[in-house]
Amino acid sequence: MKDFFKSIKFKIIVGLLAFLIGVMLFAVMKGGYAVTGKSLINTLTSPLRNSSNAISVKVENYLDKIHNATEYYNENQRLKDEIGILNKKLSDYEQIKSELNEMKQFIGITEENPDNIISEPCKITGYIANDPFQSFTINRGSEIGIEPYCPVVTSQGLIGITIDVSADTSTVRTILSPDLSVAVVCPETLDSAILEGYINDEGKSLCHLIHLSRDTTFKAGDKLVTKGTGGLFPSGYPVGTITEVIPSENGLSYTAEVEPSVDFEHLSSVVIIKDFAGKENQNEN
């Protein structure tokens, strides 16, 4: 031990301590403070006290979390329950909003076509698997008077026809299908044609007018409505708008691309026309 106090290492430690004390004394006197034993001790022990306070705060916070863990958990569960209630109210609001929109559609179609016998709004319950023409099923059938080959519409225009009907469900074939032909007319020019669905080179289901003559007067922008011949559809329902008139490869005829009036990507409900004025007479022609 005596050797340690005589060693160079001890002398270096003592020298460093003396240097540090001198620096602190200089700083204190430079600042105009009186140097006392108490202030010197406070200065020397300040870093230790600061560290101790920081550790004390952390320990206190940790103990508070442990002590109040149950209270925090209950509060978290209460907030989750409140969020669940708010989400349920939002869902109910969206449902009511959807039903109101359906009733507006129903009333609008009824007022515009007072001679037609139409169903209440029918919900779309699903789309037919592997059908690129977007055929779908609805939640109404023969129990409310729906039969095969009834026109299907919305307030926007023609959707298609019913094909398979059971007591409480029906399948709807859309105008995007090539298996459904619709006689249409341009109200401005009175030019008429046949509209069918097809799939383009990109695999998208579209509609077009077929077998137009070389002297056709159809042009882009023309509005099309149902012509009302053949007994399948009532007249005057919007069908679509011509976007482009295209010559065939041999140049002897034309086709016309048609943008449907209905947005098939955002359908939620439809209305079925169970009967319409003049249907029997048209079926006889």
Tokens 């160079």 locate to: 8
- For residue 78, the model assigns a pLDDT of 82
Q: What is the CATH number of the domain that holds 202?
A: 2.40.10.350
Taking 70 as the threshold, does the pLDDT of residue 249 lie above it?
Answer: yes
166 within some domain: yes
Taking 60 as the threshold, does the pLDDT of residue 47 lie above it?
Answer: no
Local confidence band at 284 (pLDDT 50, 70, 90 cut-offs): very low
75 within some domain: no
231 within some domain: yes
Share of the chain above pLDDT 90, in %: 41
Cβ pair 214, 194 in contact under 8 A: no
Number of folded domains that form the chain: 1
Distances (CA, A) of 53 to 38, 47, 56, 57, 60: 20, 10, 5, 6, 10
Local confidence band at 82 (pLDDT 50, 70, 90 cut-offs): confident
145 within some domain: yes
Cβ pair 152, 109 in contact under 8 A: no
Specify which residues 137 forms β-bridges with.
126, 171
56 within some domain: no
Quickly count: other Cβ atoms within 10 Å of residue 144's Cβ. 14
Residue-wise pLDDT for 125-138, tens only, equals 999 998 999 999 99
The radius of gyration of the chain from alpha carbons, rounded to an integer in Å, stands at 42
- First vs last C-alpha separation in the chain: 127
Range of the domain at 212: 117-284
Helices 8-30 and 37-67 meet at what angle, rounded to 10?
90
264 within some domain: yes
Residue-wise pLDDT for 251-281, tens only, equals 788 999 999 999 998 888 899 999 987 675 4
104 within some domain: no
Specify which residues 165 forms β-bridges with.
170
